[in-house]
Structure 1
Amino acid sequence: MKILFYFFLPAFFSYILINNFLRWDNVKEKLNYKNRRVKTAGGIVMVLTTLLMSLISLLWNYQEDTVFIIISVACMGFIGFLDDMFGNSRAKGFRGHFNLLLKGEISTGALKAFTGLVTSAAVVFMRGYASFLQLATDTLMITFAINSLNILDLRPGRVCKFFLLFMTILAVYDIYMGPVKSFYHFLPIFVSTAVFFYYDLREYVMMGDTGSNVLGICFGLSMAWILPLEYKIIMAVFLFGLNVAAEKLSLSVIIQKVRLLRLIDDMGRRP
């Protein structure tokens, strides 16, 4: 029964949603890196699938962690969709959005960053923490994870590859090391991302910030719930460094210069 719920139902819902999404009228389109017009905000498929499966799971087994996932996905999905629909490209990175704030303008990017920080802090606080160090580490790590997946979303399939790879590693770690299994809470969005992956790679649809924000917070939550504190500190520092590097350097250029990263990045992509 659990296999049906956590694997087949999310896959079925995602498949139905993505194929209907591609047929909807008036879906906003954006130019991708090849100047092809592609429907955006396709991440709404992952948002709806995750919310639906989480709500259904509450009907027979109420768990606070499921509620936290619903709150996180709903908040970041909404603000990401807002950015996809109404955002502009006048400001890039934290510096650009901060400069707009100094001029009295609130960009959707600034709202996204603020929502990510507040949502991360609220979920960590509500779930409970052993020390202030854990509270600060988890909050910052989740916040940096959200923005990290957002800045990686510049090529088809890149974010899906990152998310599926690292979530698999976390699941394996949780199975063999964790006394309490937390990974199954993230199976609906993992399966939904796997379905979406094909359409993303073939450039049928972009996930947009709607998807990357939600994958980012789920990636951050999974680390916060599964990893020991020392590993979380390492990941927080790594993700912070990735965010700082993206302010000054092009991650796509770096990836293209490193052969292994280039091979992984290009794998399965439409020519």
Structure 2
Amino acid sequence: MVLIGSILDLIVLGAAGWWMLPHVRRFLEAHGQVGPNYLGHTIPRGMGVVLWLLLWLQELVLQGALKLESSGLMGEISLLKELSTLEVNNRAFTFSATFIFLLGWTDDLIGSKAVKGLKGNFRYWMESKTLSMGAVKAIGTLSIAAWLVLAVGNDQTPIWQMGVELILLILMTNTLNLLDVRPGRSLKAFLGSFCAVLLLGYYFLDLDTSLFFSMIPVCMGGLILYSLDIRGFGMLGDAGSNLLGFTLGYGIIMIFPWEAQCVIVAVIGFLHRQAEVSSITQMIEQNRFLHWLDRLGRT
């Protein structure tokens, strides 16, 4: 019997993720979803689909637990007392994360890798009078992020704070994508940042740990994909990196106060500026510690 939020729940997600990994990899290779990495090696592209599949497995488990609770079979289990609240938040996040995944997946399928950055997408529109897939993804991310901010907010949240949350969610979604140009870089940033958010929230912000429930599948999927990604055997793709960024941004707006959110917006805004005028890779390579951390574990 699966207990929501328990170690058994993590084991179920972990086992499912490990089982999915080779099957997803073979599926991508069989359907031609491969591409060159930064070394020119042809590897599967779009392994981030594992993250999305685990999200829906979590939703399936939650719905099953709700059915059992409504039947009275699990009425005495204290871990299930807040299932209704979990179900509402989990469904809102899973719904919005699915659209983020689909936007990234579509970009992986038909997007042009030659069109990059704000200037590149604007130039493409001026020359072709057609929106690039990057522009479509940006518009879609804006719409989805706005819906999620409104869905999880309350009547006491001021409009300007919702604006900060919206900007953070949009920029963070793209930030992990900007980092995903070297093996393991995006996942290191996600897992490291997520652990920092968890620890700071738990020790300093009196965190309600149930807020992390919706993000558990993506975190578990990130751990499972890390070994494959860091060794250069598969790429997350835009579908995976965008989903990582969206999940991290969601965690931050749910847990951190607006002051911390403003600082984070400034930091990731700087990274976007750096990506436009130079490159994040160049910035990392010029810093000895960041360069060491970036190469750690990479073959």
TM-score of the aligned structures, taking structure 2 as reference length: 0.86
Residue 187 (structure 2) aligns with: 160
- Of the structure 1 ranges 112-121 and 95-104, higher mean CA displacement relative to structure 2 is found in 95-104
In structure 2, C-alpha distance between the alignment counterparts of 1:6 and 1:76, rounded to whole Å: 25
Of the candidates 210, 222, 240, which is equivalent to residue 251 of structure 2?
Answer: 222
Alpha-carbon distance, 1:5 to partner: 4.5
In structure 2, C-alpha distance between the alignment counterparts of 1:51 and 1:242, rounded to whole Å: 32
Query: Which letter maps to 1:99?
Result: R
Of the candidates 81, 88, 110, which is equivalent to residue 135 of structure 2?
Answer: 110
- Contact kept, 8 Å, 1:145 with 1:239, in 2: the verdict is yes
Of the candidates 41, 57, 62, which is equivalent to residue 36 of structure 1?
Answer: 41
2:225 corresponds to 1:196: yes
Structure 1: which 5+ residue stretches go unaligned? none
In structure 1, C-alpha distance between the alignment counterparts of 2:219 and 2:260, rounded to whole Å: 22
* Deviation per residue, 1:38-69 (Å, 9 max, x gap): 11011001111112213422442233210121
| Structure having the higher Rg | 2
Residue 206 (structure 2) aligns with: 178
Taking a change above 3 Å as real, the CA distance of residues 162 and 6 of structure 1, as seen in their structure-2 partners, is farther
Of the candidates 105, 113, 118, which is equivalent to residue 81 of structure 1?
Answer: 105
In structure 2, C-alpha distance between the alignment counterparts of 1:98 and 1:31, rounded to whole Å: 26
Of the candidates 136, 143, 161, which is equivalent to residue 134 of structure 1?
Answer: 161
Residue 247 (structure 1) aligns with: 276
2:5 corresponds to 1:26: no
Alpha-carbon distance, 1:23 to partner: 2.1
In structure 2, C-alpha distance between the alignment counterparts of 1:257 and 1:96, rounded to whole Å: 25
Give secondary structure in 2 for the equivalent of 1:38. strand
* Deviation per residue, 1:54-85 (Å, 9 max, x gap): 34224422332101211222001101110111
Alpha-carbon distance, 1:13 to partner: 1.4
In structure 1, C-alpha distance between the alignment counterparts of 2:40 and 2:104, rounded to whole Å: 22
2:287 corresponds to 1:258: yes
TM-score of the aligned structures, taking structure 1 as reference length: 0.95
Identity of aligned residues (%): 24
Give secondary structure in 2 for the equivalent of 1:170. helix
In structure 2, C-alpha distance between the alignment counterparts of 1:152 and 1:4, rounded to whole Å: 31
Number of residue pairs the alignment of both structures matches: 270
Structure 2: which 5+ residue stretches go unaligned? 67-82
Residue 11 (structure 1) aligns with: 14
- Contact kept, 8 Å, 1:97 with 1:107, in 2: the verdict is yes
CA RMSD of aligned residues (A): 1.4
Query: Which letter maps to 1:128?
Result: G
- Of the structure 1 ranges 27-36 and 170-179, higher mean CA displacement relative to structure 2 is found in 170-179
In structure 2, C-alpha distance between the alignment counterparts of 1:95 and 1:194, rounded to whole Å: 34
